[in-house]
Amino acid sequence: MTPDQSGALWHPSPNFGPRRDGLTPSLIVLHYTAMETAEAALERLCDPVAEVSAHYLIGADGTLWQMVAEDCRAWHAGAGEWAGQEDINSRSIGIELDNLGSHPFSEPQMAALEALMRGIMQRRDIPPEGVIGHSCMAPGRKCDPGPRFDWARLARQGLAADGGGAPLPQTVTFAHFRAAAATAGFTAPSDDETLLAAVRLRFRPWARGPLTAEDFLPLA
């Protein structure tokens, strides 16, 4: 097994396996580490006792490590669902970002992420709509990469869905919102409030309060 052509430092993790059922990567899942340092996260992601990993880790200073080859199944996503599909680990490439979730992501880190994603998306033919947060496929269970992550910056470069263009609904109900969210990919089981929080975390992290017509706008 060899690293992929990403320019990353190869730091292999034992925590991986083959992708199941002949699946190949069609998603990129973004995470934050929620640990004090990138080195601590790297140690955990390579610890066989922890039984977690990711394909890549990007430090706050832009250092890029690769722990699992892209053709293999890293253990980063866990239980969840996106666009009606389960076993996200077999369908995705996982990228961990050195961040506690409570502060902005650094410029060197974002620049390294963008360069990495461009290569992955070209190699794997992954569209912008295939780039999701951990919170998107596991609402309520996970909240990373969190409200401080700059999704709009990625969208401006064609590296994530821009979340715009849906018309304002005539009727604002959770039944209509759930249908619109499912069409956009948010199909993991969740109650109404948890679903609303997950969609807002991805597209409108500043939003508060009850469901509004504006919550439908990114669900084109």
pLDDT tens profile 127-159: 999 999 999 999 999 999 999 999 999 999 999
Query: Alpha-carbon distance 33 to 4, whole Å?
Result: 22
φ/ψ of 174, rounded to 5, equals: -70, -30
Of 70, 62, 57, which is closest to residue 11 (Cα–Cα)? 57
Query: Alpha-carbon distance 7 to 139, whole Å?
Result: 33
Q: Where are the domains of the chain?
A: 9-156, 174-216
pTM of the model: 0.96
Using one digit for the tens of pLDDT, what is the confidence trace for 7-29?
899 999 999 999 999 999 999 99
What architecture (CATH level 2) is domain 9-156? 3-Layer(aba) Sandwich (3.40)
Q: Is the pLDDT of residue 48 over 70?
A: yes
Q: Is the pLDDT of residue 220 over 80?
A: no
Active-site residue list = 96
DSSP state letter for 36? S
| Assigned token pair, 10 | 């190869």
* CB-based burial label for 162 (10 Å; 0-12, 13-18, 19+): middle
